[in-house]
Chains A and B, each alone.
Chain A
Amino acid sequence: MPIEGGGRTGYVMDRSTRDRLYRTGVSIFVIGMLAAQASTLLVTATAKSVLRSKLYPFIEYPMYGIAHYEGERVTATWHLEGVYNDGHTIDISQEMLNLSIWDYNRIIQATMASQKGAADAFREVMRERVPGSAELQQVRIKSYAIKVTRHGPEEIPSEVPMTVPMTPAS
C-alpha cells in the first residue's frame, strides 16, 4: 500500500506517483506469483519430473494422482526383517527406527530404486537404531500382503523383493 508521508527533505512523493508505483509493484508481484504457480503445470503435464525443490513454495499438486487397478498389490508400506549372524531374525518396525511413516517408506523405496547413496543411508539408519546392529548380517524388505479388489482389501502372500546386505559389496 502507498506509505503515508515518508519523503526526504526537499522531496515529497505525491499521492498519484505513490499509487502508480504501488500498482506497478503489485502487478509485477501478481504476475510473478501466478506465472510461477502456472509453470508447475507444464512440468506436471510432462509427467517426467517435479519442480518442488527448485521453486518452493510453488509446487505441484499430484496428490493421489497415480491410477491403480483391480488385483494390484497395495504398497502402503514395507516390513523389514533383520537377520543376525547366528541366523535369528528381528522385526524392524518404523517405531523402532524412530522415523515417520513417510521417511520410513522414502528411505526403503529409494534403496529399492537403487538411488545414489540410498543403500548407504539405509544401512546408516539400521546401524544407529536397530538393537545389536553390529551383528546384523542383512535386512530383508518384505512387501505388504494385501491387494485391492472390487469388494475391498484381500490378503495375498508377502514377497521379499530385496535383501540389503549390511556390508556393502566392494
Chain B
Amino acid sequence: MNLKSSWNKFWFSPAPYFDLAFMRIVAVSVQLFYLIDSQFPGLDYVYSLPVSQYKPLYVLWAVLWPWGFSSPPPSEVVFGLYGVTVLLGFASLFGILTNLSMILFSIGSILLMAFVFSFGDYHHPEALMLLALLAISLGPCGKVLSVDSFLARRRGGALVSVPLLEASSPYAGWPIRLIQCLYPLIYISAAVAKLAYNHYSLDWANGYTLQYYFIQDSIRKDLPLALWASQFHYILWFGQIVVLAYQITYFLTVPYPKLRWIYLPVGFTFHMANYLILYAPFPQWIALLGVYIPWAVAFKMLASKQVQLKVAGSGA
C-alpha cells in the first residue's frame, strides 16, 4: 500500500454521520456552557485589570488593528463579539446553516479566549476544545441531527432514505480522527515537560512533587481533600509513575485503537480525580474523550438489545 492510499484509508474511510453530529452537539454544548457560565465574568474581570497587563496574543492581531495593540478594544466591541458568538453557538447546536455557523462560532470562541489570555494569565483546558470545534466545523457535521437535515428532507429532491445510524461518508471521520491524534500530542507534551523541565531526569516522579502540588493547590483554592491526601507519600509516588507512563504511551491508541478501552477509562478517572482533589476542571477534555466511542454502533447495539418482560396476566 502506498503512502497516498494509506493516508486516504486513515483519514477518509467511511464513517457514520451520526458520530460526527453527536460530537458536534457534545462539543458545542460544553463550549456554550463555558461561554455563558465563565466567559462573561471572565471578560468583565479582565477589563478591571491594569491596562499594563494587556499584551495581545498574535492570533488577535489580524482583528485588532482598528483599535491598536497597546490597549484593549472598547468593551462594547468585545461584548458584542461575545453576544454574536453565543448566538452562533446555538445555531451550531441546533444545526442551522451548520457549517457556516460553526466555523464562525469556532473563530469567535478562539478570539474571545485569546483576548482573555492576553492579560497574562492562561489555562490549559480550553485550547483543545477550540481546535476540536474548528475541525468538526469543517466536516459534514450537520448532515444529520440538525435543522438543516430536517429542512433538506422537507424540500425533498433526489434523496435516498437511509437509516440514521447507517448513513456514512468518507468525510465524516477525519475530524474525529484528528481529535484522536491531538490527544496523544498533548499528553506527550505534558510528559516531555516533566522530563525536560527537570534536566531530563525522572525526578518529577518522586512522590514529593505531587505532595507539593496537593499542598500548593489546597492553599490556593482551599481544598481540604488535597491537604489530607498530601500525607500519603508512597501512594502519590505510585500515582505519579502511572501518570507519566500513561502520558508517554498514550500515542499507542492511534495505531492500536482497541487500546482505547484501557486508556479511555484511565483518562476519565484521571481527569475526574484532578477535578475532585485539585479542583483542576478539564470538562472540555472529558467531553472530547467521546471521540473514542463509536456512538452509532453503540446506539445500534442498544436499540437491538432484547429485554426480558413478564407476560401480561401471568400473576406479576
Known contacts A74-B219, A121-B53, A23 near B12 by CB under 8 Å: yes
Number of residues in B with C-beta < 8 Å to the partner? 75
- B124 within 8 Å of A (CB atoms): yes
B140: nearest chain-A partner, CB-CB? A1
Q: Give the interface SS of chain B, mostly helix, strand, loop or mixed.
A: helix
Residues of A within 8 A of B212 (CB): 68, 72, 74, 148
Does the CB pair A56–B127 fall under 8 Å?
Answer: yes
Q: Measured between alpha carbons, how far is A167 from B58 in the docked complex, in Å?
A: 34
Does the CB pair B208–A41 fall under 8 Å?
Answer: no
Does the CB pair A103–B198 fall under 8 Å?
Answer: no
Q: How far is the CB of A33 from chain B (nearest CB, A)?
A: 6
Does the CB pair A45–B50 fall under 8 Å?
Answer: no
Known contacts A27-B11, A34-B185, A41-B192, A76 near B50 by CB under 8 Å: no
Residues of A within 8 A of B110 (CB): 56-57
A99: nearest chain-B partner, CB-CB? B49
1/0 per residue A5-17: CB within 8 Å of B? 0000000000000
Residues of A within 8 A of B123 (CB): 102
- B203 within 8 Å of A (CB atoms): yes
- B37 within 8 Å of A (CB atoms): no
Extra A-B contacts (15), CB below 8 Å, given A65-B194, A68-B211, A124-B52: A1-B171, A23-B12, A44-B192, A44-B196, A47-B193, A53-B55, A57-B130, A59-B124, A61-B189, A63-B124, A76-B216, A76-B218, A100-B45, A125-B50, A152-B211
A residues adjacent to B (C-beta < 8 A): 1-2, 22-23, 26-27, 29-30, 33-34, 37-38, 40-41, 44-47, 52-70, 72, 74-77, 98-103, 106-107, 117, 120-121, 124-125, 128, 144, 146, 148, 150-153
10 A-B pairs whose Cβ atoms sit less than 8 Å apart in the complex: A1-B140, A26-B171, A30-B11, A37-B185, A57-B113, A57-B126, A57-B130, A67-B204, A72-B212, A76-B219
B residues adjacent to A (C-beta < 8 A): 7-8, 11-12, 45, 48-50, 52-53, 55, 57-59, 99, 110, 113-114, 117, 119-124, 126-127, 130-131, 135, 138-140, 143, 169, 171, 174, 178, 181-182, 185-190, 192-194, 196-198, 201, 203-204, 206-213, 215-221, 227, 230-231, 233, 280
